[in-house]
Amino acid sequence: MPAFPTFKDLSVTFKKHPVTDDLVTVKDKAAIAQSIKGLLLTRKGERPFQPEIGSNIMDLLFEPLDYGTGAMLKKAISKCLVTYEGRIIITRLACILDFDNNGYDIELEYMIVGRSEQPVAVDFFLSRTR
């Protein structure tokens, strides 16, 4: 039986484990999903001592809601994940305009590197906030 790498990160909730009193950790798919969310919601220059990490998708949300901005948004998401999340390979990324809700439906599908599992699908909605 092949040994798969285990991915483990601290939970962003910073809750303590009821038995060990250590911080709660997330593993594998949950750790990668948490990392993807953190990368996409971080603006470039926001992390101390790591100003290059992050994306500019928050800035793109204040551009006109059109197909050109959707393409730029898709490219920014792809570039951020390819550059900073080496544990995944993107198999599908779609940016669908939602004029009724004034935002973008993002459909992301990725494979975890070193695993022969089914692709992981993540859907989320991006809209501007004030």
pLDDT tens digits, the chain, 130 residues: what are they? 455 667 766 676 667 777 777 777 777 788 888 889 999 999 998 989 989 998 999 999 999 999 999 999 999 999 999 999 998 999 999 999 999 999 999 999 999 888 778 899 999 999 987 6
DSSP β-ladder status, 25-27 and 88-98:
unpaired
Domain assignment present for 19:
yes
Domain assignment present for 1:
no
Structural domain tally of the chain? 1
> How are strands ordered across the β-sheet holding 120-127?
88-98, 103-112, 120-127
pLDDT at site 1: 43
CATH code, 34:
3.10.450.40
Domain assignment present for 73:
yes
pLDDT at site 126: 92
Show the domain range for 64: 8-127
Rounded-to-integer distance, Cα 94 and Cα 33, Å: 17
pTM: 0.83
DSSP track, 85-100: -TTEEEEEEEEEEETT
Rounded-to-integer distance, Cα 97 and Cα 65, Å: 7
- In the three-class reduction of DSSP (H, G, I as helix; E, B as strand; rest coil), residue 105 is classed as strand
Q: Tokens at residue 9, please?
A: 């990160």
Rounded-to-integer distance, Cα 56 and Cα 67, Å: 17
Domain assignment present for 3:
no
